[in-house]
Amino acid sequence: MAGTTSQKPQRRMRPCPICSKLSTPDDYPFCSDRCAKIDMNRWFTGSYSIPVVETDDIDDSNIPDE
Ligand SMILES: [Zn+2]
């Protein structure tokens, strides 16, 4: 039986939220410093704000009542 002593404890790796590559411990939770900066930039530019859902006035009276 081959020993498995060389096995490193694996952290749960998440995919990079920017490009979906595996994140690296150095830049966790991103895959790279670049993606980390992109994420920061998104925060600053407000891209993470909740998108406004435009609900055109849905009028029930237009729906035929069967
Ligand atoms: Zn990435």
Whether residue 16 is predicted with pLDDT greater than 60 in this model: the reply is: yes
Residue 38 pLDDT: 93
Residues making up the binding site for Zn(2+): 16, 19, 31, 35
Tell me, yes or no, whether 58 lies in a domain: no
CA of residue 32 to ligand 1 center, whole Å:
6
Mean local confidence (pLDDT), 8-15 = 71
Residue 24 pLDDT: 92
Residue 33 pLDDT: 95
CA of residue 58 to ligand 1 center, whole Å:
40
Neighbours of 36 (CB within 10 A): 19
Tell me, yes or no, whether 30 lies in a domain: yes
Mean local confidence (pLDDT), 30-41 = 94
Q: Are 35 and 19 in contact (CB under 8 A)?
A: yes
Residue numbers of the domain that contains 42: 13-47
Tell me, yes or no, whether 1 lies in a domain: no
Number of domain units in the chain: 1
CA of residue 21 to ligand 1 center, whole Å:
5
3-class DSSP string for the chain: CCCCCCCCCCCCCCECCCCCCECCCCCCCCCCHHHHHHHHHHHHHCCCCCCCCCCCCCCHHHCCCC
**What's the CA gap between 13 and 40, in Å, rounded?**
20
Residue 22 pLDDT: 92
Residue 7 pLDDT: 67
